[in-house]
Amino acid sequence: MTGSDARVGDLDERTVLAHILDRVGPTGALLGPGDDAAVLAAPGGRIVASVDTLVHGPDFRTAWTDGFSLGWKAAAVNLADIAAMGARPTSLLVALAMPPETTLGEVGAIADGLRAACAELAPGCAVDGGDLAVSDTLTVAVTALGVLEGSGPVTRSGARDGDVLAVSGRLGPAARGLSLLFERFRDGAGRPIPPRTADLTADERGDLDAQLRPRPPIADGRRAAEAGATAMMDVSDGLLLDAARMARASSVTLDIDSAALGGDASTALTGGEDHALLATFPAGVRLPGSFAAIGRVREGAAPGVLVDGEEPRGRGGWDPYQDWDRGRG
C-alpha cells in the first residue's frame, strides 16, 4: 500500500524515493538523481555552494506549517544564499531525515514545495540529488549550487566608504508572521495549534505567508552583480545583526536611515527570515531590480551599524544556540 496515508516506516526506501522523484520534476543536470552522485554543468569553471537546514523545533512547528510550505521554505532560504553571492542557482541537493511515522503524502508535499519554489523563484533550478534518512527529528538540509556568469562573486567584504546601502525584498513580514503564530495560535498550555486564516486580516495573512513561504528576490542577486554591487548578503537573522556582519567583514560603518524602512521600522531592523538581499553599490549607480536605498557606507573607527547616526541597542536578531526555547509541536 503506497497511498498518501502510508507511513515511510512501513515502506522501503526505494518506494519513498520513487514518490519524491515523481514530484521534483525535470532536472537540467548532466546526470540527475539515481546514481551515487549527480553530475552537474559548471560553465565558467566556478560554482557557488551553500547549505542551510530546517529542523523541527527551532526552525518550524508541524502544527503551524505543512509539507508544501516546509519544502518551499527550505528551497527559498538556500536560493537566497546563492543569489546573495551574485550567482544564479542551478541545483538543489536535499537531505531529508524523517520520523518513520511521516506519511507518503507529507513526503510528496515537501517535494512539491521544493519544486514550486524553484519554479517561481529560480526558474531553471531543480532538485538534482539528495539523501533519505530516518530520524526522531524531521530535518531538511538543502545544499544549493549556482553558477557565476561573468561577474561576481559578490562577497560581504567589499563595501567601501561612500557606497549606497540598499535592500531588495521585504524586511519584517516574516517576523510579524512568526509573532502571529506565537501570540494567536497556541493552546492554553502554550502548544502550537494550526492557524485559522479566517481569523486573520489580509495584512496578517500576508505576514503569515511571508513566514511560511518566503519569496526572496532571487533574480536580483545576478542583477546586483551585473550592476557592480560591492558587497552583498541575504538578511536571514535580522537587518541589524546581518548588517553588522557585513560591516565587520568590510571594516566599515553602515548607517541605516530608519525612515527608509517603512511603517514598522522596529521589526524591519530586528526581524529575520524574509531573506531580502542587502547590498552596497558605488554612489551614482542606478540601483537594479527592486533594490532601494536604505542608508550609506561610512568609514568608521570601529566597524558596526548605526541607525540614523546612532548606535542601536540589543543584539538585533536570532541566534539558534541562544534563542530556541526547546519547543516543537
Minimum CB distance to a second copy smaller for 141 or for 171: 141
Separation between Cα atoms, residue 162 and residue 255, nearest integer Å = 11
- Select from 20, 23, 27, 38 the one that contacts a second copy (CB under 8 A): 38
- Select from 24, 70, 94, 208 the one that contacts a second copy (CB under 8 A): 94
CB of 126 to a second copy, least distance (A): 13
Q: Interface with a second copy by CB under 8 A: which range of 76-84, 108-116, 206-214, 255-263?
A: 76-84
Q: Which string of DSSP letters, residue by residue, matches 277-324?
A: EEEEE-TTPPPPTT-EEEEEEE--SS-EEEETTBPPPS--S--HHHH-
Q: What are the b/e assignments for 287-319, b being 16+ CB within 10 Å?
A: bbbbbeebbbbbebeebbbbbeeeebeeebbbe
Return the C-alpha cell found at 34: 539515481
Query: Strand order of the sheet with strand 88-98?
Result: 126-134, 88-98, 139-147
Q: Are 240 and 118 in contact (CB under 8 A)?
A: no
**Is residue 156 a known part of a binding site?**
yes
- Strand spans (E) along 99-236: 126-134, 139-147, 164-168, 231-235
**Is residue 163 a known part of a binding site?**
no
- Select from 44, 105, 194, 309 the one that contacts a second copy (CB under 8 A): 44
Q: Interface with a second copy by CB under 8 A: which range of 147-155, 160-168, 197-205, 294-302?
A: 147-155
Q: Are 110 and 102 in contact (CB under 8 A)?
A: no
**Is residue 323 a known part of a binding site?**
no
* Number of chain positions touching a second copy (CB under 8 A): 78
Contact pattern for a second copy over residues 175 through 194, marking x by CB under 8 A: --------------------
Minimum CB distance to a second copy smaller for 83 or for 208: 83
Minimum CB distance to a second copy smaller for 16 or for 208: 16
Q: 154: helix, coil or strand?
A: coil
Q: Interface with a second copy by CB under 8 A: which range of 84-92, 199-207, 222-230, 289-297?
A: 84-92
Query: Which residue type occupies 156?
Result: R
CB of 208 to a second copy, least distance (A): 23
Q: Are 278 and 238 in contact (CB under 8 A)?
A: no
**274 belongs to the binding site for a second copy (CB under 8 A):** no
CB of 292 to a second copy, least distance (A): 20
Footprint of a second copy on 226-245 (CB under 8 A): 232-234
126 forms bridges with which residues in the sheet?
91
Return the C-alpha cell found at 264: 514598522
Footprint of a second copy on 306-325 (CB under 8 A): 319-322, 324
**Is residue 315 a known part of a binding site?**
no
Query: Which residue type occupies 319?
Result: D
**Is residue 308 a known part of a binding site?**
no
Footprint of a second copy on 1-20 (CB under 8 A): 8-13, 16
| Binding site members | 36, 50, 52, 59, 81, 130-131, 156, 234, 236-237, 273, 318
